[in-house]
């Protein structure tokens, strides 16, 4: 696990954007896995700006969303589909066959999870997976206690995750209690992972992720076992 410490959120976004663009330009048909939440926003902004300046093309790339709430329409402003459409996909001229989304409104959710997992396999697995981390160590929506070999599945959100994520909803009562998420096993098959961590409130989380025991009680700790992980974290995310 390589850990890169940068001064602040702006530097974090710039650093991950540089690496992302490098993979876009050096991998023949790159497959990216993308996370949502506050932390990767700067990355998406940087990618859109670089695209608009004419320096890069996404024509050969494919994109997989990491997770999605169950029961929200894709036009719901708090859905992860909507988030990535608005923050990235709509700006970089993709065709629909370049974008893979778990459908949280599928009639048969188990079948949807199997379909998604198969799509990832058919694309030859993810070349670069961007991750953020929940305060309790969740990756995607894999909450503490999830087996390390889990595959894409329907999961229940913990009270604490619902509370933290309620900031993206009108009220805490509006937040779905379930989601579809790539499994930990699925994420670990990515050829490369970049984990982004920003802010004081993540300092304990970062510490435990990079130095703590590898345990299912803290899902992000499994990243210590992946052969190609880079953690990019800003100064605030480190204990003094
Ligand atoms: C959500 C998402 C995760 C994300 C995490 C951290 O629960 N399901 O994929 O990494 O929140 O989000 P933030 O970057 O806003 O702290």
pLDDT one-digit tens code per residue, 24-65: 999 999 999 999 999 999 999 999 999 999 999 999 999 999
Q: H/E/C letters for each residue in 131-170?
A: ECCCCCCCECCECCCCCCCCCCEEEECCHHHHHHHHHHCC
Q: Is the CB of 37 under 6 A from ligand 1?
A: yes
> Cβ(119)–Cβ(64) under 8 Å?
yes
Q: Is the CB of 153 under 6 A from ligand 1?
A: no
Task: Supply the pTM of this predicted model.
Answer: 0.97
Determine the pLDDT at residue 171.
Answer: 87
Nearest CA to ligand 1 atom 3: 140
Q: Is the CB of 29 under 6 A from ligand 1?
A: no
Residues annotated as part of the active site: 67, 136, 138, 143
Q: Give 54 Cα–ligand 1 centroid separation in angstroms.
A: 30
pLDDT below 70 — which residues of the chain? none
Query: Top-level CATH class of 2-237?
Result: alpha beta
Domain regions of the chain by residue span: 2-237
Determine the pLDDT at residue 47.
Answer: 98
Alpha helices in 4-96, H assignment, sequence order: 9-26, 41-52, 80-87
Nearest CA to ligand 1 atom 9: 140
């Amino acid at each position: 696990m390589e850990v890169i410490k940068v001064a602040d959120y702006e530097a974090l976004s710039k650093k991950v954007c540089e690496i992302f663009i490098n993979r876009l330009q050096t991998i023949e048909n790159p497959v990216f896995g993308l996370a949502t939440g506050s932390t990767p926003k700067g990355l998406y902004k940087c990618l859109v700006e670089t695209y608009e300046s004419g320096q890069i093309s996404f024509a050969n790339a494919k994109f997989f969303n990491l997770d999605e709430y169950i029961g929200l329409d894709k036009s719901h402003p708090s859905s992860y589909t909507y988030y990535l459409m608005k923050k990235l996909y709509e700006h970089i001229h993709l065709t629909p066959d370049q974008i893979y989304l778990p459908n949280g409104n599928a009639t048969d959710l188990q079948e949807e999870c199997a379909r998604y997992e198969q799509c990832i396999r058919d694309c030859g697995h993810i070349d670069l997976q961007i991750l953020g981390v929940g305060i309790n160590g969740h990756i995607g929506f894999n909450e503490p206690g999830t087996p390390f070999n889990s595959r894409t599945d329907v999961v229940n959100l913990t009270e604490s995750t619902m509370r933290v994520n309620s900031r993206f909803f009108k009220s805490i009562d509006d937040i779905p209690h379930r989601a579809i998420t790539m499994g930990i096993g699925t994420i670990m098959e990515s050829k490369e992972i970049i984990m982004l961590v920003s802010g004081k409130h993540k300092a304990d989380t970062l510490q435990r992720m990079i130095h703590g025991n590898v345990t299912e009680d803290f899902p992000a700790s499994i990243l210590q076992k992946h052969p190609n992980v880079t953690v990019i974290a800003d100064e605030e995310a480190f204990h003094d």
